[in-house]
Amino acid sequence: MFLFTTIAALPAGTFGFIFLGVVALLILILFIRNIRVVPQATAFVIERLGTYRVTWQTGIHAKMPFIDRIERRISLKERVFDFPPQAVITRDNVTMQIDTVVFFQIVDPVLYCYGIENPIMAIENLSATTLRNLIGDLELDETLTSRDVINTSMRLTLDEATDPWGIRVNRVELKNIIPPREIQTAMERQMKAEREKRENILISEGKKEALIRVAEGEKEAAILRADAKKEQAIREAQGKSEAILMLQEATARGLQMIKDVKADEALIALRSLETMATVADGRATKIIIPSNMQSLAGLAVSFKELLSDSNIDTEQKNEKE
**CATH, domain range 79-179:** 3.30.479.30
pLDDT of residue 3: 40
CA separation, residue 190 to residues 95, 186, 195, 198 (Å): 19, 6, 9, 12
Q: What would the DSSP string read from start to end of 60-128?
A: EEE--TTTEEEEEEEE-S-EEEEPPPEEEE-TTS-EEEEEEEEEEEES-HHHHHHS-S-HHHHHHHHHH
pLDDT of residue 2: 40
Q: Where are the domains of the chain?
A: 2-74, 79-179, 182-231
In sequence order, which residues have a C-beta less than 8 Å from that of residue 42 and are 6 or more positions away? 58, 73, 74, 75, 76
Residue 165, judged by CB atoms within 10 A of its CB (0-12, 13-18, 19+), counts as buried
H or E, element range at 291: none
pLDDT of residue 248: 80
pLDDT of residue 104: 92
Q: Is the pTM of this model over 0.85?
A: no
Q: Give per-10-residue mean pLDDT for the chain (321 aa).
A: 46 64 76 82 89 87 84 89 86 86 91 86 89 87 84 90 91 86 79 85 89 89 88 86 83 71 58 58 54 51 51 54 50
pLDDT of residue 115: 84
- Total Cβ atoms within 10 A of residue 96: 21
pLDDT of residue 101: 92
User: For 269, how many CA atoms within 13 A lie in the half-sphere containing its CB?
Assistant: 15
pLDDT of residue 168: 92
| 10 DSSP assignment | S
